[in-house]
């Protein structure tokens, strides 16, 4: 215990409050009638001095933005974060405050409770503050991401979302920014916030604990039949038998490529899941694999759509790099008038993400098929789907010369700056900036052909700089009116 003599009782009675400072510690002491309270002087909202707040009964109101705190417990009654309170005693006509630091476990618990509130309410600012508290109290801030996965995995009722995929890239950025704590807090806040947003307002859809002996054939059949109950039971069996992602990666890759799933997201999610497990450890493995399995049972199978049924017209190209180049060319020459249009049929609702996906998918195909070459055929075929599908929305007559990148390293550094201060309110769009950047960077490093490299860089440059239409008000009204006009 460490007691500090802070103010005489007489002085406190005259002024009703007092401020005690020692090092970085600033403590506000208040007296109302026979009650005396001591709390942190910095308001947990924006740091203004609470000693200047108004006290009524046992409630303190911060003068700046009206947050209210119960002085007895520090609980925030209006606003967000709680404030720390300190034990006091009166001895020899002086007020004494006990200032020793709380135990680390206790502090971690308090911060995580705050984070969970921020997560449940999808409050970006508070999540950022709780992450900063983890950092400044010498705790591992990635704990916040682990917890966010635990709080979200049963709320994603259709399994893995972009939030987990983006989490992998944010974590990579986090570990690459070891010497820049501000960038690190950005990365983790973005990861946590995206999960919080996807989980917001969703009720829990618990996973069954039932387990069956695992076999790859049975797992593939269950996914093919979109039988979530069976697939989850088999996965539980595998996890119970001591399987980890590494042993299951191949069967997940196989399952992802059985169909042209959700425009390639299935395979991208396999890689990103593996990355998160690798970076955060086995604690999150079960949550992520259950979520991935659920996603596989819910994904749309675009290869069953009429436009993809005749695969022969898309399968003529059989070289990865030429398909990469073709998709990069589509990306660079995307006719963005389609994105702005509101007078076209639903089938022509295309936007920038239709052109970033082929690149992130190509990256996933290349990485997984180098590992498991038996899947090249499906991977390349599906990559050709992207190329064929996007071609009608490309305008190669447009002048794109201004997007050429002269200095690759400088350009990448600028992209990172933009990602770390993206200014977008739409998490999915921000996640796509990030994942497209990561995929392009890797494929530029891999591609042998200089033309492919240039195409990828120029396309990314254009994507990072053009305004993107994020909401289609008139298009939605026009298409929906046309749809419902045919009802009944």
Residues forming contacts to ligand FES in the complex (CB under 6 A) are 43, 45-46, 48, 62, 64-65, 67, 79
Three-class DSSP category at 30: strand
Residue closer to ligand FES, measured from CB, 46 or 318: 46
Residues 6+ apart with CB under 8 A from 360: 264, 268, 435, 436, 439
C-alpha span between 470 and 351 (Å, rounded): 9
Q: How many residues does the chain have?
A: 488
Which residues, in sequence order, are bridge partners of residue 59? 56, 70
Instruction: Please list the alpha-helical segments (H only) found in 52-176.
Output: 104-120, 124-136, 142-152, 162-176
Three-class DSSP category at 160: coil
Q: Which helix (H) or strand (E) holds 408?
A: helix 408-419
DSSP assignments along 305-363, one per residue = SHHHH-GGGT-S---HHHHHHHHHHHHHTB-THHHH-SSS-GGG---HHHHHHHHHHHH
C-alpha span between 249 and 272 (Å, rounded): 11
Instruction: Please list the alpha-helical segments (H only) found in 200-319.
Output: 216-224, 228-240, 245-257, 265-280, 285-298, 306-309
Of 429, 395, 415, which Cα lies nearest the Cα of 464?
415
C-alpha span between 117 and 75 (Å, rounded): 13
- Shortest reach from residue 83's CB to ligand FES, in Å: 9
Distance of alpha carbon 48 from the chain centroid: 31
C-alpha span between 360 and 208 (Å, rounded): 32
- Shortest reach from residue 126's CB to ligand FES, in Å: 12
Q: Which two tokens stand for residue 145?
A: 């991401």
Considering only CA atoms, give the Rg of the chain.
27
Q: Which helix (H) or strand (E) holds 417?
A: helix 408-419
Dihedral over alpha carbons 194, 199, 200, 203 (to 10 degrees): 180
C-alpha span between 148 and 123 (Å, rounded): 13
């Amino acid at each position: 215990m460490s007691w500090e003599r802070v103010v005489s009782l007489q002085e406190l009675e005259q002024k009703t409050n007092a401020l005690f400072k020692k090092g970085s510690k600033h403590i506000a002491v208040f007296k109302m009638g026979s009650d005396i309270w001591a709390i942190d002087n910095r308001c947990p909202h924006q740091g203004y001095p609470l000693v200047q707040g108004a006290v009524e009964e046992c409630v303190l109101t911060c003068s700046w933005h009206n947050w209210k705190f119960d002085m007895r417990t520090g609980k925030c009654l209006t606003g967000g974060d709680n404030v720390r309170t300190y034990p006091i005693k009166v001895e020899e006509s002086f007020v004494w405050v006990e200032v020793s630091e709380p135990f680390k476990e206790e502090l971690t618990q308090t911060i995580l409770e705050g984070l969970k509130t921020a997560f449940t309410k999808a409050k970006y600012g508070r999540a950022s503050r709780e992450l900063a508290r983890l950092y400044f109290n010498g705790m591992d801030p990635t704990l916040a991401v682990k917890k966010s996965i635990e709080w979200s995995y049963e709320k994603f009722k259709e399994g893995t979302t972009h939030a987990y995929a983006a989490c992998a890239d944010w974590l990579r950025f986090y570990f690459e920014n070891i010497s820049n704590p501000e960038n690190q807090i950005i990365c983790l806040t973005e990861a946590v916030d995206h999960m919080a947003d996807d989980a917001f307002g969703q009720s829990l859809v618990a996973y069954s604990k039932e387990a069956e002996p695992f076999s790859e054939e049975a797992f593939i059949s269950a996914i093919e039949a979109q039988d979530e109950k069976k697939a989850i039971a088999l996965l539980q069996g595998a996890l119970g038998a001591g399987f980890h992602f590494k042993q299951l990666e191949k069967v997940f890759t196989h399952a992802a490529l059985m169909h042209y799933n959700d425009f390639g997201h299935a395979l991208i999610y396999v890689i990103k899941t593996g990355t998160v497990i690798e970076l955060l450890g086995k604690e999150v493995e079960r949550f992520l694999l259950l979520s991935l399995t659920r996603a596989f049972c819910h994904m749309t199978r675009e290869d069953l759509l009429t436009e993809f049924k005749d695969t022969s017209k898309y399968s003529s190209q059989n070289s990865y790099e030429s398909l990469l180049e073709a998709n990069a060319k589509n990306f660079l020459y995307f006719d963005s008038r389609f994105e702005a249009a509101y007078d076209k049929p639903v089938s022509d609702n295309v936007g920038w993400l239709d052109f970033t996906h082929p690149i992130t998918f190509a990256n996933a195909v290349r990485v997984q098929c180098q590992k498991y070459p038996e899947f090249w055929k499906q991977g390349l075929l599906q990559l050709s789907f992207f190329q064929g599908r996007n071609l009608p929305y490309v305008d190669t007559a447009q002048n794109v010369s201004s997007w050429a990148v002269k200095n690759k390293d400088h350009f990448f550094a600028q992209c990172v700056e933009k990602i770390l201060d993206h200014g977008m309110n739409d998490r999915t769009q921000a996640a796509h900036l990030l994942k497209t950047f990561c995929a392009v960077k890797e494929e530029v490093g891999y591609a042998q052909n200089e033309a492919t490299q240039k195409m990828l860089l120029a396309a990314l440059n254009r994507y990072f700089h053009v305004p993107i239409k994020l909401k289609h008000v008139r298009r939605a009204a026009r298409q929906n009116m046309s749809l419902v006009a045919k009802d009944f």
